[in-house]
């Protein structure tokens, strides 16, 4: 299975605008995808930071810094940045899409470039880098992987992820950023970078283009870093004899260990490259002596200055004007120090200077001969250019860019393509798409943004809708385990309610049908891929507050997100006055956060109205009072008749009547209270 088929980002719609089509490249910090800008209908490259770095603020800041740094630049040799943002937890950068390869891929394929090819690439990179340096930006990570070679011939610098302001020296701290093979000595030893650090990296790249290898090698990164800090980069011609001396010295100038001996920035090095390309003749037939790196200047033999004498002094020593050239001295008149010292010698001109003059004369004659050749060549090229322009604009070779088409019907897509001069193949590409409905077009083959001949047949990529997957049973599981089991679907925020099941237990699962209506999935066995699902999760039982005071009960319910209201009071012989007798959900529905709980509060024991029992037999009165939950007591039975009646074994209470009672009739008592009855003992007779 290909990486595109397994990458979950493929098919995603980022920020409602960028439809991800395929993966272009993956690095340690981010992955780059080809996407379609649905708003402007153009292909773009979207760089998405890896999810595991989302919580690392340093990485996120470097990622955002890349967008800000590159967005400040508007130059044909710098990759354009269109947009930057965050979708869910994924930070992203939207850049121009450049179909082509990197300089690293070119070197892997061809290994060694010709001096002309290397110079062309160097000029383009210097132009883009000069724009960055002019804007106060140091790239700090120049390497072949970050030089893009587009199919249409454009050359651009990308990946400003390590860029920093160049207004002052920039220290990297304890960790060295950038690729070790291109780190300047000052970055290795002091962790400090400025514009000249970029020049050093570019010098190493030029060496690699001319020789097919890097100047320093080692099994461990520290071995390479040590060589950067202590060794001198060798001349490329020592590896590739076809490298001209001018490029040898350009490499040595750019890779000088002392930053003061390098070009001050990309603009200075670019201007020097232009001088090399123009030659050293100026209008009027006079000669201009270029301030070149030492090996590029005409060097007289040692005897012209005395054995062992150094004509230029230590590398980097100031000349009469106080300025240093690429290597050696610069004179006050613009001539090299070597020529100045030669002028002050007595006697005939040295052989070295004579040889140099002859060489300059030969070069001038050669240029005059080349002028006629160039004229013929220009005419031929103009004819070829005209023919080529006709071929590609009006003739059979005319080209067109495939438009972006998504979420359109087959008929609409066909009409749009035919209107722009394309044919539409009867053969369609079927694909699953979790977002675009079945039967709608998700893209084309070739993909949007591809350049093809007008009239070419384009195949439509048609959605079959989302894949139908098995839906796991999650009711009764804990919420975390359920969400992992549902990873092929889009799991939204859970809803919650109070339930007798333990907190975190899944009570139900719901989803959406094709029309967007909510459906219960508890008994479903399949469900479309990435379709939304929502879990209902238990918050545990509602707190039992019966027997608590009203204030304590309300506080306990508020603590779990519930409201409460006192719905009334009742007498209770078992619950203390002011305490909760019972509780219940308002309306007896499901209890969710914010629901109201009804509380019934005790008013204390039930009051009893004492009946008037005077004049009734004592036994009858006792039964009536006992039925009401009252206790009965009597006046002492001390008369001789009462004692005699008791001794004879009959119930005297059935013979006497109540004379008075306490409390009196219609008084108030409570369950368990005692009513005292008095009776007329004289009415009790025996025998």
Q: What is the pLDDT of residues 173-197, one digit of tens each?
A: 333 444 789 999 998 888 888 999 9
Q: CA separation (Å) from 123 to 55, 120, 278, 687?
A: 40, 5, 14, 146
Give a yes or no: residue 481 inside a domain: yes
Contact call for residues 196 and 264 (beta carbons, < 8 A):
yes
Beta strand pairing call for 532-538 and 506-512: antiparallel
Give a yes or no: residue 9 inside a domain: yes
Q: How many residues does the chain have?
A: 687
Catalytic residue among 15, 88, 120, 141: 141
CATH number reported for the structural domain that contains residue 616 in this entry = 3.30.10.20
What are 625's two structure tokens? Answer: 């009072």
pLDDT of residue 370: 55
The DSSP 8-state label assigned to residue 96 in this structure reads E
Alpha helix (H) ranges present in 313-422?
337-343, 351-393, 410-419
Residue range of the domain that includes 528: 468-538
Contacts of residue 579, defined as CB under 8 A and 6 or more positions apart, other chains included, come to 546, 547, 548, 549, 550, 601, 602
Q: What is the pLDDT of residues 311-357, one digit of tens each?
A: 333 333 333 333 333 333 233 323 332 223 433 333 333 333 333 33
One domain for residues 180 and 137: yes
Contact call for residues 184 and 139 (beta carbons, < 8 A):
no
pLDDT more than 70, % of the chain: 75
One domain for residues 178 and 204: yes
Q: Which of 96, 113, 143 is the last residue of a domain?
A: 96
Give a yes or no: residue 407 inside a domain: no
Closest Cα partner for 120 from 158, 89, 149? Answer: 149
| Distance, C-alpha 687 to centroid of its chain | 112
DSSP bridge pairs for 336:
330
Q: What is the pLDDT of residues 234-246, one digit of tens each?
A: 999 999 999 999 9
Range with lowest mean pLDDT among 315-329, 400-414, 435-449, 546-560: 315-329
Say if residue 168's pLDDT is above 80.
Answer: no
Query: Residue 573 — left, alpha, or beta (φ > 0 → left; ψ -120 to 50 → alpha)?
Result: alpha
What are 368's two structure tokens? Answer: 């005059």
d(CA 249, CA 443): 52
Q: What is the pLDDT of residues 254-271, one digit of tens each?
A: 999 999 999 999 999 999
pLDDT of residue 268: 96
One domain for residues 214 and 273: yes
Give a yes or no: residue 55 inside a domain: yes
Rounding to the nearest 10 degrees, give the CA dihedral for residues 675, 680, 681, 682.
Answer: 180
The vertex-142 CA angle with 138 and 147, nearest 5°, equals 120
One domain for residues 555 and 441: no
pLDDT of residue 646: 57
pLDDT band at residue 563 using 50, 70 and 90 as cut-offs: very high
One domain for residues 630 and 655: yes
Domain count, the chain: 6
Give a yes or no: residue 409 inside a domain: no
Say if residue 568's pLDDT is above 50.
Answer: yes
Q: Which of 243, 278, 313 is the last residue of a domain?
A: 278
Contact call for residues 129 and 198 (beta carbons, < 8 A):
yes
Give a yes or no: residue 41 inside a domain: yes
One domain for residues 639 and 522: no
Contacts of residue 71, defined as CB under 8 A and 6 or more positions apart, other chains included, come to 81, 84
One domain for residues 114 and 233: yes
Is there a catalytic annotation at residue 651?
no
One domain for residues 74 and 179: no
Q: Which of 73, 96, 119 is the last residue of a domain?
A: 96
Residue 537's SS3 state is: strand
Number of helices (H) and strands (E), helices first, in the chain?
Answer: 16, 35
Model-level pTM? 0.43
d(CA 184, CA 170): 13
Say if residue 71's pLDDT is above 90.
Answer: no
Residue 16's SS3 state is: coil
Say if residue 133's pLDDT is above 60.
Answer: yes
One domain for residues 124 and 193: yes
N- to C-terminal Cα separation, the chain: 118
One domain for residues 244 and 163: yes
The mean pLDDT value for 449-477 works out to 90
Contact call for residues 434 and 11 (beta carbons, < 8 A):
yes
pLDDT band at residue 638 using 50, 70 and 90 as cut-offs: low
Tell me the pLDDT of the chain averaged across its residues. Answer: 79
Give a yes or no: residue 188 inside a domain: yes
DSSP bridge pairs for 443:
461
Contacts of residue 305, defined as CB under 8 A and 6 or more positions apart, other chains included, come to 311, 341
Q: What are phi and psi of 509, to 5 degrees?
A: -140, 135
One domain for residues 129 and 269: yes
Compare 597 and 299 and report the one with higher pLDDT: 597
Alpha helix (H) ranges present in 544-672?
550-558, 618-627, 640-648
Say if residue 411's pLDDT is above 80.
Answer: yes
Query: Residue 438 — left, alpha, or beta (φ > 0 → left; ψ -120 to 50 → alpha)?
Result: beta
Q: What is the number of other CB atoms lying within 10 angstroms of the CB of residue 432?
A: 17
What are 246's two structure tokens? Answer: 């001018």
Beta strand pairing call for 658-662 and 674-679: antiparallel
Give a yes or no: residue 358 inside a domain: no
CATH number reported for the structural domain that contains residue 109 in this entry = 1.10.510.10
Query: Residue 593 — left, alpha, or beta (φ > 0 → left; ψ -120 to 50 → alpha)?
Result: beta
Say if residue 656's pLDDT is above 90.
Answer: no
What are 579's two structure tokens? Answer: 């305490």
d(CA 18, CA 70): 20
One domain for residues 226 and 109: yes
Say if residue 630's pLDDT is above 80.
Answer: yes
Compare 601 and 451 and report the one with higher pLDDT: 601
pLDDT of residue 687: 31
């Amino acid at each position: 299975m290909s990486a595109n088929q397994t990458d979950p980002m493929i098919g995603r719609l980022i920020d409602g605008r960028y439809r991800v089509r395929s993966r272009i490249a993956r690095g340690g910090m981010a992955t780059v995808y080809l996407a379609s800008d649905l708003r402007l209908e153009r292909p773009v490259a979207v760089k998405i930071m890896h999810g595991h770095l989302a919580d690392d603020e340093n990485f996120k800041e470097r990622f955002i810094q890349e967008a800000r740094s590159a967005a400040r630049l508007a130059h044909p040799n710098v990759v354009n940045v269109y947009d930057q943002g965050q979708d869910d937890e994924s930070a992203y950068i939207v850049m121009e899409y450049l179909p082509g390869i990197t300089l690293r891929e070119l070197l892997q394929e061809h290994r060694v470039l010709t001096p002309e090819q290397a110079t062309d690439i160097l000029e383009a990179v210097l132009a883009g880098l000069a724009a960055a340096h002019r804007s106060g930006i140091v790239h700090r990570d120049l390497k072949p992987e970050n030089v893009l070679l587009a199919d249409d011939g454009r050359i651009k610098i990308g990946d400003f992820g390590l860029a920093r302001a160049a207004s002052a020296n920039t220290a990297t701290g304890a960790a060295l950023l950038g690729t070790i093979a291109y780190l300047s000595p000052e970055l290795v030893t002091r962790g400090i970078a400025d514009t000249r650090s970029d020049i050093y990296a570019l010098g190493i790249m030029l060496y690699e283009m001319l020789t097919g290898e890097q100047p320093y090698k080692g099994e461990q990164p520290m071995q390479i870093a040590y060589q950067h800090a202590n060794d001198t980069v060798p001349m490329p011609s020592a590896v590739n004899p076809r490298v001209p001396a001018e490029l040898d010295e350009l490499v040595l100038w750019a890779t000088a260990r002392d930053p003061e001996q390098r070009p001050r920035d990309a603009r200075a090095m670019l201007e020097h490259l232009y001088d090399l390309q123009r030659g050293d003749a100026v209008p009027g037939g006079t000669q201009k002596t270029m301030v070149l790196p030492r090996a590029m200047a005409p060097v007289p033999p040692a005897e012209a200055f005395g054995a062992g004498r150094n004509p230029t002094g230590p590398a980097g020593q100031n000349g009469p004007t106080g300025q240093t050239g690429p290597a050696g001295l610069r004179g006050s008149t613009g001539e090299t120090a070597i020529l100045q010292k030669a002028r002050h010698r007595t006697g005939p001109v040295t052989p070295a200077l004579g040889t140099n003059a002859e060489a300059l004369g030969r070069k001038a004659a050669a240029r005059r001969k080349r002028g006629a050749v160039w004229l013929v060549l220009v005419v031929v090229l103009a004819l070829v250019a005209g023919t080529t322009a006709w071929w590609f604009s009006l003739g059979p070779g005319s080209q067109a860019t495939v438009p972006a088409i998504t979420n359109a019907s087959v008929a609409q897509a066909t009409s749009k393509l035919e209107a722009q001069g394309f044919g539409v193949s009867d053969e369609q590409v079927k694909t699953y798409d979790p977002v675009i409905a079945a039967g709608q077009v998700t893209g084309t083959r070739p993909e949007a943004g591809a350049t093809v001949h007008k009239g070419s047949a384009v195949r439509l990529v048609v959605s079959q809708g989302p894949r139908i997957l098995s839906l796991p049973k999650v009711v009764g599981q804990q919420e975390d385990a359920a969400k992992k089991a549902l990873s092929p679907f889009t799991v939204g925020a859970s809803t919650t309610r109070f339930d007798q099941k333990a907190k975190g237990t899944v009570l139900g699962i719901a989803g959406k049908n094709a029309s967007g209506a909510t459906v219960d999935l508890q008994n479903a066995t399949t469900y479309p891929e990435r379709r939304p699902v929502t879990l209902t999760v238990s918050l545990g039982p509602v707190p039992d507050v019966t027997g608590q005071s009203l204030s304590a009960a309300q506080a306990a319910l508020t603590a779990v997100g519930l409201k409460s209201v006192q719905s009334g009071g009742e007498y209770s012989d078992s619950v203390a006055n002011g305490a909760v007798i019972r509780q219940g959900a308002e309306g007896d529905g499901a209890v969710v956060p914010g629901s109201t709980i009804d509380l019934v509060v005790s008013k204390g024991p039930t009051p009893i109205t004492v009946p008037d029992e005077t004049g009734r037999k004592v036994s009858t009165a006792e039964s009536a009072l006992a039925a009401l939950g009252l206790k009965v007591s009597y006046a002492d039975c001390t008369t001789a008749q009462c004692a005699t009646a008791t001794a004879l074994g009959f119930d005297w209470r059935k013979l006497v009547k109540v004379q008075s009672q306490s409390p009196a009739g219609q008084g108030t008592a409570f369950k368990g209270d005692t009513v005292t009855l008095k009776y007329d003992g004289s009415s009790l007779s025996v025998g």
